[in-house]
Structure 1
C-alpha cells in the first residue's frame, strides 16, 4: 500500500510511516492564477492500494473539491483500492432535516466521495452514527473513547459524572460513562432559527460532582459556555471538558483560553491542526490522534 499526504497532514503521515512500512506517492498540487487546481500523480499506481490523508478544515469547500480531484486522479493512475483518512468530517452537523425544505449536506458529500472513487473512509468521532448510513462503502469511525482512552483511564471516578451537552450526544457519552462506570447526566439544549444556543435543564445529579462534559465539536464555544454556567449553578464541584474536534482553537485561540480558564482541564485532539506559534495554557491538554489511526490501519488493512 502507498500513502499520499495532503493539506497539513505531514505530522500524521510522519507518525504513520514511523510504525508502518508504506511508500509515499510522488505527486504535486499546483494552483493557477485563477484559483483552479492542478494535480499531477507521477507514480504508476496500477493495481496498488493507496491511502490518502487529507485535512478539510479550514476552507472546507475548497479542500473538499481538491480531495475529489485527488481521489479521481489516483484512480486514473490505476489504483486498485483508495482509502482516505479525513480526521474531521466537514458538514457532519448537517446530517438531518429540521424543516421540510432543508438539504442534508453530509449525505451529498458522501455521494460525491463515492462517485470520485473512494473505497474506504477512515474518520474520527462523527457527529452522529447515522452518518455511516449515508455511505455504501465501509466507514471506520474512530470513537472518542478510542482517541481519549488514556486520558479517561486517568480520571478518578469516585465523585465523577459524565455529562452530555444534549440528547444527540447521549450515545457518545453513554459509552464513556459505561467505561468509567460512573453516572450519566444529560443537558437540555435548544437552538433557535438564528442558531442561538440555550440550555434549560439537567437530567441527572451533578451537585458536588466532578463533571466530565463531552462533545464532539467546539465551534463558537457557546454550547460549552452555557453548559458550564448551568453545571456551576447546579452545584457542580468542578467541570472538565473533553472535545474531539477543536475548530475554535484554529479560529479564536483567545476565546478557547477564556473557556479553559473556567475548567479544571480541557482536553482536545489534534484532528484540527493548530498553528504551532499559538501557545496553549497549562489547562489545555492536546491528545494526538496518530496512535488511534495507526491501530485502525493495522486492524483493517
Structure 2
C-alpha cells in the first residue's frame, strides 16, 4: 500500500517565531482537503563544553522537510542548521530544503584581498555536504552567490513587501537611493517599479564597518528619499548617507533594508541620525532588550511570501509570480 507524500517543517532556535508564523500562514491558505501542517517537534541538547546536538522527536521518513534557520549570529546558528539537516537526512527524509531567510557569510563572496577565504562558497559546500537538496533564501548580498550551489536555489526578494509599503506612504517627489555603488542595481529596480529618479551614494571605507566619506550622485534637493539595501549592520553607511542627503537639501530620508543585523551601536546610530524611518523585515528578529529605543524602526513581515513559496515548491508549482522584480 502506497502512502501519500507529505510535508514537514522544522525550526532551529534562531527562527522559531518566524517558522511558527509561516506554518500558521500555510494553514490559513491551504485547500480544504489538505492536511493541517504543524511545526515539527525537535529538541536541542547543549553540553557543558559548548557542543550541542539536535534531535527530531517525530518521524520524517519519506517526507519533504523544510528546515528554517537564519544564520545570524552566524557561527552557532550555521552549525545548528547543518546538524539539523544531517539528522533529517539520516532519519530517511525524502528531500531536505534549507530555508535561510538571512544567509550569513554572504558578504564574503569573493577574494577582495590576498589570502582570504570565500566564506559564502564554503557555506554552500557545507550545506551540500550536510545533505541539503535545495536552499531558499532572501535578498542575498550578491545575487551571483546562487552560482556557488550545485543544487537549486530559490532567491526571494523583499521588494514583494517593500514596494507596497513605499507606495502606501504616498510620498511626493519620491527618489530611491543606493547607499553605495554595489547597491545601484537594486536601487534601479525599485526606481523603475516606482517610476521615480535614482540617487547613488559613493562611499570610501577606512576599514570594515568604518565609512570615511560619502558623496551623493543625482538630484537630491526637494526629494523625499528612500534608501534601499539588503541589510543594515552597524548602520554607519546608512546614517552617514542620510545625513549627507539631508545636508544637500532632501526633504526627508527613510530606508528599506531586508535584514536587520543591527550590530554594535546600530540602534544608537539610527536614533542619533536624521533618518526619519527604517523599514526592515522579520528575517532577523529585533533585539528584545526593553531599554533599546526602536521607535524609528518598522518591521514588515516576509512570512506570507515564504509560506507561499514553500507551498509552491512542495507542490512543484512555478514561483516567479511571487516576485515583484
Confirm or deny that 1:67 pairs with 2:81.
yes
Distance 2:39 2:281 in 1: 25
CA RMSD of aligned residues (A): 2.0
C-alpha distance 149-195 of structure 1, shift in aligned 2 (>3 A): closer
User: What SS does the aligned partner of 1:274 have?
Assistant: coil
Confirm or deny that 1:162 pairs with 2:162.
no
In the alignment, which residue of structure 1 is the partner of 2:19? 13
Among 273, 294, 307, which residue is 1:294 paired with?
307
In the alignment, which residue of structure 1 is the partner of 2:241? 227
Confirm or deny that 1:99 pairs with 2:125.
no
Compute the TM-score of the two structures, normalised by the length of structure 2: 0.85
Confirm or deny that 1:53 pairs with 2:68.
yes
In the alignment, which residue of structure 2 is the partner of 1:266? 278
Give the alignment of 1:277-292 within 5 angstroms: 277-278=289-290, 281-292=294-305
C-alpha distance 252-270 of structure 1, shift in aligned 2 (>3 A): farther
1:235 Cα deviation (Å)?
1.3
C-alpha distance 284-40 of structure 1, shift in aligned 2 (>3 A): closer
> Could you tell me whether the CA contact under 8 Å between 1:157 and 1:182 is conserved in 2?
no
In the alignment, which residue of structure 2 is the partner of 1:89? 103
User: What SS does the aligned partner of 1:15 have?
Assistant: helix
C-alpha distance 252-100 of structure 1, shift in aligned 2 (>3 A): closer
The gaps in structure 1 that reach 5 residues or longer are none
In the alignment, which residue of structure 2 is the partner of 1:41? 56
Distance 2:212 2:133 in 1: 40
User: Aligned residue pairs: how many?
Assistant: 298
> Could you tell me whether the CA contact under 8 Å between 1:83 and 1:118 is conserved in 2?
yes
Q: Report the more deviating stretch, 121-130 or 4-13.
A: 4-13
The gaps in structure 2 that reach 5 residues or longer are 1-6, 27-35, 315-325
Per-residue CA distance 1:223-252 (angstroms, 9 max, x = gap): 01210122122211111111111111x654
Confirm or deny that 1:204 pairs with 2:204.
no
Distance 2:183 2:266 in 1: 25
